[in-house]
Every structure is written in structure tokens, then in C-alpha cells.
Amino acid sequence: MPVAVITGAGSGIGRVVALALLDAGYAVVLAGRRAERLRETVAAAPAGAPATAVPTDVTSAESVAALFDAVRAEHGRLDLLFNNAGLSLPGTAADLSVEDWRRVVDTNLTGSFLCAREAFRLMRDQRPQGGRIINNGSISATSPRPASVAYTASKHAITGLTKSLSLDGRPYRIACGQIDIGNAATDLTARFAEGVPQANGTVLAEPVFDPVHVAHAVRYMAGLPLDANVQYLTITATTMPFIGRG
């Protein structure tokens, strides 16, 4: 049975992907800050599904190390890490506080690095060797929204992290890819129907799509043999303002 770790698994995309992987026959270790939300994800899984909740602060090296120690102790190996935990706080370079900048970068970038570091070590040292890391880049890894300087910078940096992990993982059969998601319907995008600031100064409602399609995409990426890799995959609501966003 393949083993997966999902960060940000207590809600939204993380929860939907976790349930899809459990349905596909994975043992899934759910990581997130809020233990009660992780328990809700476990409760939504089929009875007896091999889901384990490990409350984790991805900004803490010690907390992340404890997460992967638990994976090693319970399963002895790791086949997939979905680096999904993320935080977005609005603000331009002129008005965002240094504290908020650090909160976003620590969660989105440093948290992804810390989890990738521990996963890489486990995948490198286990037998049979290898595994796969999938980073949630967001379409903000390519195109920013207005007043999103910290989130956009952190997500652009995720692309660099993905590339470096892909290159450094080659000798150890560790593949790394990135999924860039735009407007999946979660609690975080509920406000999009009311209107979202656009690059031209207007406020427009934006379409969303069912996050189950994100889960299908992650399952596809995860299910490839380790000699094949989806380096980048972008999935969005078809008519969202992304291509030619302006």
C-alpha cells in the first residue's frame, strides 16, 4: 500500500485530495495546524480507511521532523508528499507589514521546503528507494493578483523549489512536480462570486470549479511510475481571468 503525506489536510483542497487518495488505496498521513479539522477529514473517510492525523506546524522544523518521524515509525516508508499548506494575506509592497510578509513566506515557502527536506531524506534512504513530491504552486506562481505581493512572491519561489527538487532527486528516483490551481471552489474562494479586484481596477465575479477535479489531477500525477513525471500542471475554471489577465 503506497503511503502519502498531505499538508493542509484539514480543509479545502487538502481534504478533497486526501479523501481521493484514500479511495485510491493509499495510506494517508494528514498534517495541519488544527487537530479538530484533521479529525473531521478522518471522519469523512470510509470506515477503516488508513488515515492518520498528525497536527503539524509546517513553519517549525521540529514539528515537521516529528511528522516524518511518525510516518517512519508507522509505515516505514513514504511514496508521496503533497505540499499543500498555504496562507494568503492581502497587501502591496507599500502597505504589507513585515510580520505578515514573514507569516506568508514562512508558511508557503519555508514550510514547503521543510516538508520536502524531510520527505527527500526518507525517500532517499528507504528501500526500495524513491518517491514523489507534488507542490501546490497556485496560478499565482505565474500571474499575480493585485495586492498579493507576499503570496505571489512565495508561489513564484515554489517553482524554483520544484525545479531544484526535480534536479537533485534524479540520483535517488525522487520525482517532483507542481500543480497550479486557479479558483477551485473552497471556503477561501467563496467570496469570488461577490467580486474580486482585477488588474484594471474593476471588481468582477469570477467562476470556480469543483475541487474534486484537482484531486483527480493529483491522483494522476501521483500514479505515474517514477521514470515519468508531470513537471507542471495547471488546472483552472475555464473562463477565469488568467490567460490574458492583464
Is 10 part of a structural domain of the chain?
Answer: yes
Which pLDDT score is estimated for 246? Answer: 45
Residue 69 belongs to a domain with what CATH number? 3.40.50.720
Residues 6+ apart with CB under 8 A from 5: 28, 29, 31, 67, 68, 71, 78, 80, 81, 82, 115, 119
Question: Looking at 26, 151, 220, 232, which residue is catalytic?
Answer: 151
Asked if residue 121 belongs to a domain, the reply is yes
Q: Domain count of the chain?
A: 1
Q: In this structure, are residues 208 and 241 in contact, taking their beta carbons and an 8 Å threshold?
A: no
Residue 86 lies in a domain: yes
pLDDT in tens, 105-133: 999 999 999 999 999 999 999 999 999 99
For strands 27-32 and 51-55, give the pairing. Answer: parallel
Do 29 and 6 form a contact (C-beta atoms < 8 A)?
A: yes
Domain-located, residue 242: no
Q: Is the pTM of this model over 0.75?
A: yes
- Let me know if residue 246 belongs to a domain: no
| 241 within some domain | no
Our answer to whether residue 151 is catalytic in this structure is yes
pLDDT for 245: 62
Q: Is residue 244 part of a domain?
A: no
Give the cell for residue 95.
502597505
Measured torsion, CA atoms of residues 223, 229, 234, 235, in degrees rounded to the nearest 10: -10
Q: What are the CA-CA distances from residue 65 to residues 116, 120, 185, 214, 219 (Å)?
A: 11, 12, 32, 28, 25
21-75 pLDDT per residue, tens: 999 999 999 999 999 999 999 999 988 999 999 999 999 999 999 999 999 999 9
Q: Tell me the residue range of the domain where 164 lies.
A: 3-236
Question: pLDDT digit string (tens) for 123-170?
Answer: 999 999 999 999 999 999 999 999 999 999 999 999 999 999 999 999
